[in-house]
Amino acid sequence: MKISVFSLGPVFPRHVHGGSQRTLTSVVRHLAEQGHDCDVYCTWRDDNPQSFQLAPRAHVHPHLRFKQTFPEPYYTAPFHLASIAETLRSAASDSDVFYIHDSELVFSQIYDGVPVVSGVQDFVYPTTLEGVFAFRGRQFVAISDYVERCMSATLSRLADKHSTSVQVVPNGFNQSAFRPVDFTRMASELGLRTDWVPILFPHRPDPRKGLFQAIEVIAAAREHLPAELFARLRLLVPLWMDSDLVGEESDHEYQTLYREAEKHAIEHDLGELLHVHPWIPADRMPEYFSLGRATLCIGNFVEAFGNVAVESQLCGTPAIVSRVGAQRTVLPDDLVSKVDYADIGGCAELLVELLLSDKPFETPRFRDFVDATYSEQRMVSGYHEVFAETAVGRPIGNSLTQGGTGYGIPPWCALTASGYYSDYLHTYADDQELLTLLSAAPDGYISADLGTAVDKLNRWEAEGLLVRQQPPNR
C-alpha cells in the first residue's frame, strides 16, 4: 500500500512532542517494515524545517505552514491554508489510504473519493473535535474504550455518522525499551544530587496536567514524613520543548506556568522543591522514568489513555493517577494507585506510603499485564489491519449507534467517593436532586417513566451529566 499521513503535531527525527506522536512514529515504522510506502506531512517549524527519512520507505515532510505551536494551529495566513489543502489533496489522491492522525484536519473536501482513516488520539482538543465532527469518511480508530464510548455517546446523535465505524486500537508499549535501566548518566546531566528523592512530573506544561496539585500534595505529605527525608524531595518538571519557539517572555500559558508554579511552591514553603530541566529525548525516557521514586499523574486533563503511568511503571517507578478520563479504566485498580481528582489528602497518603515503603514495585507482574493487553506489536498490527481493510472498502469495528428511551451515566462521568465527577466540567456536580436519583439507580440507568420532570432530565442531558441510554439487561 501507499499511505499518506497528515499530522498537525510535529514529527521529529529524535524528539517526541507527546504520546500521540510516539504512537504515530511506531505505526509508520511498522508499516514501512512491512513493505508499505509512507509519507508523513506535518507542520513546518523553525526547529524542524527539512524533510527526513524516519525509516526505509517512510519519509517525513514538515512543510505545512500552520502556526508553529498550539493553541490555534489554524491561525495562519489564508494562502498558507490554501497551500496546505493543495498539498494534502495531492497526497490523498495519490494514495491507497489517507490517514488523518488525531483527526485534526478540517478540510474534509480534500479526500472525497479516497479511502480515509481518522485516528482519534484525544476527545478534548478543539482541533480534534472539529475534525471528528467534520469527518466524511467511514472509519475511525480510537485509542481506548473510553474514547470510543465518548464518541458513540455524542456522534450517535448525528444521523450522518451512523454509517461510520470505530475500531479501538489501544496504545501499545515497547517493553524492550521501557524497562528499568541505569540512570546514573541521566541524573548527572540533569544536575540531580545523589541524596535527592526525585518525584517525577513528566508532562507538558498544561495547567490541567496537575502541577499545582502536585505541589499541594507534597506540601500535605510534610507532616507524615521524617523532616530529613522531606527536605530531600524534589519535583522534576521538564521544560516545554517549544519554549525556544515562543520565547521566554511569552505570555503563552505553557510558558508562564513555570513562574506561577514557582510562586505556588514558595507560598507552600517549598521554595526548593521544583527542579526544572530540559525536555527529555524520547529514546532516553526509560532512564528518566527509572530514576524516580514516584510519578504523579493527578490533574484533571481528560486523558484519552494515559501513557505516562504505564511507561513509568514499566520502568519500575510506581505512579499515582487521578480518576479522570481513561485513567479510571485503562489500568486495573490493583496495578496502579488511583485517587479522586482534587483529593489532596488522599493523594498525599498514597505518596507517603510509596516513599516510606521498603517493598519494591511489582514490575514483573505489571509487565506481564501490559504485554498481554497493551503490547506495541498488538497496536501496530491493529492499525495495519484498519488501513488494509479501509483500502478495500471494508470498515471494521463498532457502529456509531446509541441512544434510547431512558438515561444513564455518560462515559465522561463517574460516581466516586468524592462525588459525581464530570471530565468535561473538570469538577464534581453539586445538583443534589440528580445525585439522589443516581444513588437510587444501582446500575446507573434512569427510566424516563420514574416521574422526574422532563425539563430536568433535558437540562442534565444538555449539561452532559446524563446521556440517552437503552435499559440494561436486568
Summarize pLDDT for 353-397 with one digit per residue, the tens: 999 999 989 999 999 999 999 999 999 999 999 999 999 999 999
Q: Please indicate, yes or no, whether residues 43 and 19 belong to a single structural domain of this protein.
A: yes
Report pTM.
0.95
Which residue range forms the structural domain that includes residue 287?
Answer: 189-373
In terms of Cβ atoms closer than 10 Å to its own Cβ (0-12, 13-18, 19+), residue 263 is: exposed
- Listing DSSP states for 150-199 in one string gives HHHHHHTTSGGGTT-EEEE----B-TTTSS----HHHHHHTT--TT-EEE
Let me know: does 440 contact 447? Beta carbons within 8 Å: no
Residue 178 lies in a domain: no
106 vs 472: which has the higher pLDDT: 106
Instruction: Please check whether residues 218 and 135 belong to one and the same domain.
Output: no
Predicted confidence at residue 247, as pLDDT, reads 67
Q: Average pLDDT over the chain, rounded to whole? A: 94
Q: Are residues 197 and 161 in the same domain?
A: no
pLDDT tens-place string over residues 163-201: 899 999 999 999 999 999 999 999 999 999 999 999 999
Same domain, 66 and 102: yes
Average pLDDT value for residue range 49-59:
97
Please report, as a single letter, which amino acid is at residue 310: V
Of 373, 388, 417, the one marking the end of a domain is 373
What value does the mean pLDDT take over residues 129-140?
Answer: 96
Domain match, 104 and 34 both:
yes
- Sorted by sequence, the CB contacts under 8 Å of residue 319 that are 6+ apart come out as 294, 295, 296, 297, 308, 309, 312, 313, 336, 337
Same-domain pairing of 41 and 164: yes
Question: For residues 259 and 271, is the Cβ–Cβ distance under 8 A?
Answer: no
Task: Give CA–CA dist 443/119, Å, rounded.
Answer: 31
User: 379 and 368 in one domain?
Assistant: no
Phi, psi dihedral angles at 204 (to 5 degrees): -70, 160
334 and 383 in a single domain? The answer is no
Distance CA 305, CA 456 (A): 33
Same domain membership, residue 200 and residue 245? yes
CB 274 within 8 A of CB 295: no
181 assigned to some structural domain? no
Can you give the CATH number for the domain in which 98 is found?
Answer: 3.40.50.2000
Separation between Cα atoms, residue 250 and residue 234, nearest integer Å: 26
Q: Which of 467, 459, 460, 416 is nearest to 154 (CA)?
A: 467
Gap between the Cα atoms of 33 and 21, Å rounded = 18
299 and 200 in a common domain: yes
**Residue matched to cell numbers 484525544:** 122
Nearest residue to 83 via CA among 99, 51, 61 = 61
Identify whether residues 168 and 30 lie together within a single domain. yes
More confident residue, 112 or 385: 385
Residues 389-404 have pLDDT tens digits of 999 999 999 998 767 7
Model pLDDT, residue 9: 95
**Can you tell me the mean pLDDT for 144-171?**
93
- Whats the size of the chain, residue-wise? 474
How many domains would you assign to the chain?
A: 3
Host H or E run for residue 238: strand 233-238
Last residue of a domain, one of 384, 399, 414: 399
